[in-house]
Amino acid sequence: MRTGGDSGNIPASPGAYALVLRLRASLPLSDIRRFRDCTLPPGLYAYFGSAKGAGGLAARVGRHVRLRAGRRPHWHIDRLLARGEVVGVVVWPEGDECTWRAGVQADRRVSVPLPGFGSSDCRACPAHLLTVPDAAVVADALEGRGVGGTGCAA
C-alpha cells in the first residue's frame, strides 16, 4: 500500500511501515548520547518501523506524521521528523520491518548512514534508517523485487 504524506488511508492493523523523509539541511544529533558526534547530511532517507500496539499502523504512522518541531523527541526518528519533510509513507500490513529493510538495502544505491540509528531494540539489523536514491526503491522491495533476508526475533 502506498500513500503520500498523510495517514488517512492506513489500516489500523499491525504491521511494518516505512517513512520516506527529505532532510534539506544537515542535522546534528548531539542530543543522542550514542550519536553525539554525528551529523546526518541533507538527503533522502527511509526509516523502517513496526506498529504492533493499539491502533496499529494508522496510529503509529499518524503519530509520526503529526510530530512537529518543539515536541520532546522519544525515538531516534523523531529528530528527523522535527526537521525533515515526510515525502511518502508505505505500509505492509502484517509485515516485518527487518525483512523489508534488508530487501531495500540489497539495492547497491542504498546505504546505512549511521549504524544503529533507529534500531536500538534490534540485534539483527545494522540500522533501520537508510539513505535511499528515491522513494520507489522502498515500495519496489515490497512488490517482490528484493524482499529477502531474515527478520528480527519478536
Structure confidence at residue 5 as a pLDDT band (50, 70, 90): very low
**Alpha helices, DSSP H only, in the chain?**
56-66, 77-83, 97-105, 136-142
d(CA 90, CA 125): 19
Mean pLDDT of 27-54: 87
pLDDT at 10: 87
* Position with higher pLDDT, 130 vs 69: 130
- Largest distance between two CA atoms of the chain: 39
| 35-62 CB burial, b ≥16 within 10 A, e <16 | beeeebeeebbbbbbbbeeeebbbebbb
132 pLDDT higher than 90: yes
Beta-strand (E) ranges in 10-134?
15-23, 27-28, 39-40, 43-51, 85-93, 129-131
Q: Which amino acid is at 18?
A: A
